[in-house]
Amino acid sequence: MDEEGRDITWNDLSEPRDAELACWVFWHMCPGIGPRSFHRLLTEFGTAAAAANAAARGAKRPAFVSYEGWRLASSTPDAAGAGQREMELASRHGARVVALPNREYPPLLRRIYDPPVVLYVMGKAPLTAAPWVAVVGSRSATSYGTGAARYLARQLATAGAGVVSGMARGIDSAAHRGAIEAKGVTIGVIGAGLGYQMTARLQCLAREVMQSGCLVSPFNMRYPASRGTFPARNRVISGMSHACV
């Protein structure tokens, strides 16, 4: 809560910096701590650093916090240091952390229910510049389908729109390459951490995307891909886009 006892909203928050940003990253790494739990931690303790310090001092676990997440926080005397090491790992991979209050955070994504607390971004393309259009579809697309996606993305990019997709085989890859062919901007949203070992196909596509766009992930650097990570990826794709095809 703030000094007047009101609940803190995302709009009330200033951009976290230094140790506070590192603590945001730390809580993002804790199992079971999603956007709602993290928001309630900020409401309860005021800052991410204060919440981490309380856990490290042995404070009782709030009912809204997962047991696993609080246990990790309780056993981490230097949460800011742990978060800083994660940010240094991101930096070594050429990535950066963009927290929700940061002005680089996609404005439409900020407005969805439970937006990701932090994003990992690799590449220089701004996330706020273009009108973004998501072009997504089947991994097992027909040649007609991939051709249509490639053509549509090329036309969108030529018209000045940025193309957002999920880096998967089929429609997603075709959409990225169509935007690249038009020398447009494309964003690839990854269903794993940006430091997770990519397949050769994904590495090749990532290099192409990075020439004019960027890669984005809502997951910690080494977070592995699984069936459960793709709904979160899809929320980022749809949430940051003005339209979806």
Q: Report the alpha-carbon distance of residue 23 to residue 30 in Å, rounded.
A: 11
Q: Is residue 216 part of a domain?
A: yes
Instruction: Give the phi and the psi of residue 129 in degrees, each rounded to 5.
Output: -80, -55
Give yes or no: residues 145 and 55 share one domain: no
3-state secondary structure 171-220: HHHHHHHHHHHCCCCEEEECCCCCCCCCCHHHHHHHHHHHCCCEEEECCC
Is residue 170 over pLDDT 80? yes
Query: What domain range is 234 assigned to?
Result: 107-244
Q: What is the mean pLDDT of residues 102-118?
A: 94
> Can you tell me which residue has the tokens 């800052």?
47
Q: What pLDDT, in 10s, does the model give residues 128-164?
A: 877 999 999 999 999 999 999 999 999 999 999 999 9
Greater model confidence, 50 or 16: 50
- Confidence class for position 49, pLDDT limits 50, 70, 90: very high
Give yes or no: residues 15 and 127 share one domain: no
Give yes or no: residues 148 and 78 share one domain: no
Give yes or no: residues 114 and 177 share one domain: yes
**Bridge partner residues of 57 (DSSP):** none
Give yes or no: residues 45 and 160 share one domain: no
Domain boundary among 92, 115, 136: 92
Q: Is residue 203 part of a domain?
A: yes
- Confidence class for position 2, pLDDT limits 50, 70, 90: very low
Helix residue ranges per DSSP H, the chain = 18-29, 35-45, 48-56, 67-74, 79-92, 107-110, 143-158, 171-181, 200-210, 229-240
Nearest Cα to 198, choosing from 173, 172, 167?
Answer: 167
Number of domains in the chain: 2
Encoded amino acid at 6, one letter: R
Question: In this structure, which long-range contacts are made by residues 31-37, counting pairs with CB atoms below 8 Å and at least 24 apart in sequence?
Answer: 31/66, 31/68, 31/69, 31/72, 32/65, 32/66, 32/67, 32/68, 32/69, 33/65, 33/66, 33/69, 34/114, 35/114, 35/115, 35/116, 35/117, 36/64, 36/114, 37/64, 37/65, 37/66, 37/69
Give yes or no: residues 73 and 187 share one domain: no
- Predicted TM-score (pTM) of the model is 0.92
Give yes or no: residues 134 and 240 share one domain: yes
Token pair, residue 185, equals 């901007």
| CATH classification at residue 116 | 3.40.50.450
